[in-house]
Copies of this chain bind each other. A is one copy, B any other.
Amino acid sequence: MDTETALSALAALSHESRLAAFRELVQAGPEGLSVGELRERLDLPPATLTAHLNGLRTAELVQDQREGRVIRVRANYPQMNALIAYLTENCCAGATNCGPNSVCIPSTNGGQT
């Protein structure tokens, strides 16, 4: 993932409603949710939800598929994963001991504190 794409994804997730929407979609699993279900859970006016969904769509963090009158939205897990990979690389500057479960130390000092 390049920096421009990462910025787009970070911007998409940096708003309360959009992060909440994305979390709902992740919890919903591969089935995703219809826009209507999402709207009920988040309790947002239709136009507002669409605007936020468009932010997530631009960042390619979600994908959708029309099913009749309903549009089903799914979290794009690989894209989210790519964002985490980007942040991990930028957090650790290439150190190998880095990740969510380790303390993040740059490689330039061999991991000492």
Contacts and interface: CB of A to CB of B under 8 A. Distances in A.
Interface of A: 3, 6-7, 10-11, 13-16, 19, 22-23, 26-27, 29-30, 75, 77-78, 80-81, 83-85, 87-93, 98-106, 108-109, 113
Contacts of A13: 10, 14, 87
A30 B100 contact: no
Given A7-B16, A78-B103, A89-B100, 10 more contacts: A7-B15, A14-B14, A26-B90, A27-B106, A77-B91, A80-B104, A81-B91, A84-B84, A84-B104, A85-B100
Contacts of A90: 19, 22-23, 26
A30 B23 CA distance: 33
